[in-house]
């Protein structure tokens, strides 16, 4: 018998091994094994090129895009319908809340899910009862209607003496119903036939709005980014920053924990996100320009920072598109009004569009920014506001030749301009005199028997205790002077530390921000630090404080000549933030400064005030006024009361604004009556008392001196 099996090789163990057939091409011709792999690669490469070419074809993209819109829209509508009929949305929100560790939110969604299930069960039972009782009700209604019609027919037949009229009313009603049915069929039959098309168009529209098509099938001008920075938009933007540790965390399945979901706040959006391990906020802040681009914003409209009391949390503020490039409203005191040195003056708006009050009493300012960044706009607003209090005396030393302060000269006690030695000596004389003045006022406070600070009543009673403001502009010329620089730095720190409770306010202004032009520790000593456009992070931190650039509070992205009057500032609120100074104009053909100075002169010379004194809105006092004699009140009722009390200030407030004020005041969580949030009158009054008694020179420990 002949062996027809394939020949076999003998392996080293002696076991026969069948031969493997050689690969062959499509014609059946054997192909050597060395040539099979390159041919396979060529076929795969050709297939890949064919797919790429198909994707690049406009017709193919069009078909895929609109097909994906219809299919994706159907899925979205189906999911929405399912969520509307089930508790799937509630369960999803519960999982999100559990992942974020928010037990209160978990309980709220569990309660909502229970209430939904209870209401759904009740609806189903009502529907079942209706199904059971409906036939009987219909039969009863038809029988009753037929009886009425027959009764009418009997009356009609008796009146006409014709027995056939008994059914006339019933026949008339039947004919009328038939006519209505015919009319409905004529009107609604086309709609019925077109219903599938309408449903398809609706699904397509939803899919188009949600951009359910693949990215490669979108039109050339298509963009998956959303102008609204919700959680999805923020995560997409962060995922495309090119930060390796963040990308690795996303690939490993990192689930974001939203300390605060993206919510509407003022004229922008605010969110807080706990970042994964290995991704400090500094990494995000360094990519600010890319982050802004990804969120369809300019760099000035996006501010990633780290909260002072929440390490590892990204605090992201995203302004509405273009809102920070629009003109700032007119200065509130431009045409009328007086001020009180001890209450402060309006100087700017914050990023949310809220008014910023510049404190004058117990305050000192360090203001820096390169030429053309708009430093003078803030200084002018501060000084003009102070001038409208007749008690205030103002001295200005400008160690350069410029005319910024010339329009204010009539109301200034002194104005010295120039960068020669004699002008430096004049500034030194003022500094030495201030050191003596601070000591004298401190001794006077001790003699009177108070260790707090000068009050308005005290200043009105004793002219030697009247408020004083001293401005040192281009101060780098003073601190960098070869002969007087060292003494100037020592005096500056000494006076700044001790002057605040004595109603003496100092403004240090410079375009330079480095160790040579400023005393060490000056930024720790002043209460208000303002950085307009700055070239580098070293200068940024020299003004705002060490580590501020790292935490995202940086003026290095501001552009001189473009972001004029916009600055990163600390001291105006609980946390640093962006401010936009009011601009009181003085240029060719326009002079808004001189009329204010003239009004200030009338007040200074004893003339009558033209309007009630400007007073900053006191949120805590307003809350106390709304509470009245109520020991507690629901937050919603307090919010409505504030809006009725002052619609201009509180008209756009939400619960988040009220909560921010309560948190700043130390009110804390206060829930009664089934877990509902309330505001406590006692806590508000305690916060007001603590604020009024709080020493305002808490920053006086300062830094090291040269």
DSSP 219-287: -TT-----SS--HHHHHHHHHTS--HHHHHHHHTTPPPEEEEEEEEETTEEEEEEEPPTT--HHHHHHT
Most confidently predicted of 145-159, 247-261, 481-495, 555-569: 481-495
* Mean pLDDT value of segment 22-47: 59
Token pair of 659 as six digits? 């909560």
Minimal CA–CA distance to 366: which of 558, 544, 549?
A: 544
The pLDDT of residue 223 is: 47
Give me the percent of the chain exceeding a pLDDT of 90.
20
Taking CB atoms within 8 Å and a gap of at least 24, the contacts of 95-102 are: 96/258, 99/255, 99/257, 100/257, 100/258, 100/259, 101/257
DSSP structure class, residue 701: T
218-260 confidence digits (pLDDT tens):
665 444 445 678 888 898 889 889 888 898 888 888 888 888 8
Token pair of 667 as six digits? 């009110």
178-195 confidence digits (pLDDT tens):
888 888 777 777 777 777
The pLDDT of residue 222 is: 43
**Using 50, 70 and 90 to split pLDDT, how confident is the model at 101?**
low
User: 529: helix, coil or strand?
Assistant: strand
Please check the confidence at residue 563 and state whether its pLDDT lies above 60: yes
Token pair of 332 as six digits? 């509130």
**Cβ partners under 8 Å of residue 531, min gap 6:** 368, 369, 513, 539, 540, 543, 544, 555, 567, 568, 569
Please check the confidence at residue 9 and state whether its pLDDT lies above 60: no
The pLDDT of residue 36 is: 64
The pLDDT of residue 300 is: 83
642-664 confidence digits (pLDDT tens):
888 888 778 777 777 787 788 77
**Using 50, 70 and 90 to split pLDDT, how confident is the model at 468?**
very high
The pLDDT of residue 220 is: 52
* Mean pLDDT value of segment 23-50: 61
* Mean pLDDT value of segment 550-571: 85
Q: Has domain 231-319 been given CATH number 3.30.980?
A: yes
The pLDDT of residue 20 is: 45
> Contact at 8 Å (CB) between 324 and 354?
no
**Using 50, 70 and 90 to split pLDDT, how confident is the model at 592?**
very high
Please check the confidence at residue 72 and state whether its pLDDT lies above 70: yes
> Contact at 8 Å (CB) between 99 and 274?
no
- Break the chain into its structural domains and give their ranges: 49-222, 231-319, 345-604, 619-693
The structure tokens 């997409």 sit at: 236
Q: Has domain 345-604 been given CATH number 3.40.50.2000?
A: no
The pLDDT of residue 216 is: 66
Q: So what's the architecture of 619-693 in CATH?
A: Orthogonal Bundle (1.10)
* Mean pLDDT value of segment 322-342: 87
**Using 50, 70 and 90 to split pLDDT, how confident is the model at 392?**
very high
**Using 50, 70 and 90 to split pLDDT, how confident is the model at 608?**
low
**Using 50, 70 and 90 to split pLDDT, how confident is the model at 267?**
confident
Q: H or E segment at 67?
A: helix 58-85
Angle at 468 between CA 467 and CA 470, to 5 degrees: 160
Question: Is residue 212 classed exposed, middle or buried when 0-12, 13-18 and 19+ CB atoms within 10 A define those classes?
Answer: buried
Neighbours of 536 (CB within 10 A): 13
In order of 109, 388, 552, 573, the CA distances from 323 in angstroms are 35, 31, 21, 21
Among the ranges given (545-549, 586-590, 688-692), the one the predictor scored with the smallest mean pLDDT: 688-692
405-455 confidence digits (pLDDT tens):
999 999 999 999 998 999 999 999 999 999 999 999 988 888 887 667 888
**Using 50, 70 and 90 to split pLDDT, how confident is the model at 680?**
confident
**Using 50, 70 and 90 to split pLDDT, how confident is the model at 162?**
confident
> Contact at 8 Å (CB) between 109 and 93?
yes
> Contact at 8 Å (CB) between 295 and 234?
yes
* Mean pLDDT value of segment 282-289: 88
Length of the chain: 706
């Amino acid at each position: 018998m002949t062996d027809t099996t394939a020949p076999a090789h003998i392996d080293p163990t002696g076991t026969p091994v069948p031969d493997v057939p050689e690969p062959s091409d499509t014609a059946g011709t054997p192909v050597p094994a060395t040539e099979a792999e390159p041919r396979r690669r060529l076929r795969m490469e050709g297939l890949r090129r064919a797919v790429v070419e198909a994707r690049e074809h406009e017709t193919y993209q069009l078909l895929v895009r609109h097909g994906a819109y219809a299919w994706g829209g159907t899925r979205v509508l189906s999911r929405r319908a399912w969520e509307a009929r089930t508790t799937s949305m509630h369960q999803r929100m519960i999982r999100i809340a559990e992942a974020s560790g928010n037990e209160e939110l978990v309980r709220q969604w569990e309660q909502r899910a229970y209430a939904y299930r209870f209401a759904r069960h009740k609806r189903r039972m009502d529907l079942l009862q209706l199904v059971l009782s409906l036939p009987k009700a219909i039969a009863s209604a038809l029988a009753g209607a037929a009886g009425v019609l027959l009764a009418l027919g009997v009356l009609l037949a008796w009146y006409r003496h014709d027995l056939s009229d008994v059914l006339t009313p019933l026949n008339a009603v039947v004919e009328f119903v038939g006519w209505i049915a015919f009319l409905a069929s004529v009107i609604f039959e086309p709609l019925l036939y077109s219903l599938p098309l309408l449903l398809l168009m609706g699904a397509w529209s939803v899919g188009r709005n949600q951009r359910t098509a693949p990215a490669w099938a979108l039109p050339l001008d298509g963009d998956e980014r959303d102008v609204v920075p919700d959680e999805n938009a923020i995560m997409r933007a962060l995922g495309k920053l090119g930060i390796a540790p963040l990308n690795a965390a996303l690939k490993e399945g990192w689930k974001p924990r939203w300390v605060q979901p993206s919510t509407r706040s003022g004229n922008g959006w605010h969110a807080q996100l706990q970042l994964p391990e290995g991704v400090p906020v500094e990494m995000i802040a360094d990519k600010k320009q890319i982050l802004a681009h990804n969120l369809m914003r300019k760099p000035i409209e996006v501010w990633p920072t780290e909260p002072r009391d929440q390490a590892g949390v990204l605090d992201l503020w995203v302004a509405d598109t273009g809102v920070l490039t629009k003109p700032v409203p007119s200065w509130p005191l431009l045409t009328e009004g007086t001020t009180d040195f001890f209450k402060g003056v309006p100087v700017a708006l914050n990023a949310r569009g809220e008014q910023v009050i510049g404190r004058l009493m117990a305050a000192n300012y360090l203001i820096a920014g390169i030429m053309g960044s708009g430093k003078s706009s803030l200084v002018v607003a501060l000084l003009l506001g102070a001038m409208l209090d007749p008690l205030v005396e103002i001295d200005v030393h400008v160690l350069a030749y410029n005319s910024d302060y010339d329009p204010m000269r009539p109301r200034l006690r002194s104005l010295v301009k120039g960068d020669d030695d004699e002008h430096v000596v004049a500034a030194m004389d003022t500094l030495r005199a201030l050191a003596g003045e601070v000591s004298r006022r401190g001794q006077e406070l001790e003699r009177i028997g108070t260790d707090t600070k000068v009050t308005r009543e005290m200043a009105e009673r004793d002219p030697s205790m009247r408020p004083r403001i001293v401005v040192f502009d281009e101060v780098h010329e003073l601190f960098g002077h070869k002969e007087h620089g060292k003494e100037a730095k020592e005096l500056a720190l000494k006076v700044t530390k001790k002057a605040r409770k004595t109603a003496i306010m100092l403004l240090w202004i410079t375009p330079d921000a480095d160790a040579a032009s400023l005393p060490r520790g000056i930024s720790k000593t002043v209460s208000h630090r303002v950085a307009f456009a700055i070239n580098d992070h070293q200068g940024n931190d020299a003004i705002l404080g060490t580590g501020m650039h790292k935490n995202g509070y940086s003026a290095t992205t501001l552009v001189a000549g473009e972001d004029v009057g916009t600055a990163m500032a600390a001291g105006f609120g609980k946390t640093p933030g962006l401010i936009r100074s009011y601009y009181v104009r003085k240029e060719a053909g326009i002079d808004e400064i001189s009329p204010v100075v003239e009004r200030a002169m009338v007040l200074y010379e004893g003339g009558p005030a033209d309007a009630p004194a400007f007073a900053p809105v006191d949120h805590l006092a307003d809350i106390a006024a709304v509470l009245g004699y109520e020991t507690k009140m629901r937050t919603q009722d307090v919010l409505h009361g504030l809006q009725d009390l002052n619609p201009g200030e509180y008209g756009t407030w939400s619960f988040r604004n009220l909560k921010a004020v309560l948190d700043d005041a130390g009110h804390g969580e206060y829930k009664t009556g089934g877990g509902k949030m309330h505001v406590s009158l006692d806590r508000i009054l305690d916060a007001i008392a603590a604020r009024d008694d709080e020493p305002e020179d808490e920053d006086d420990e300062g830094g090291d001196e040269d």
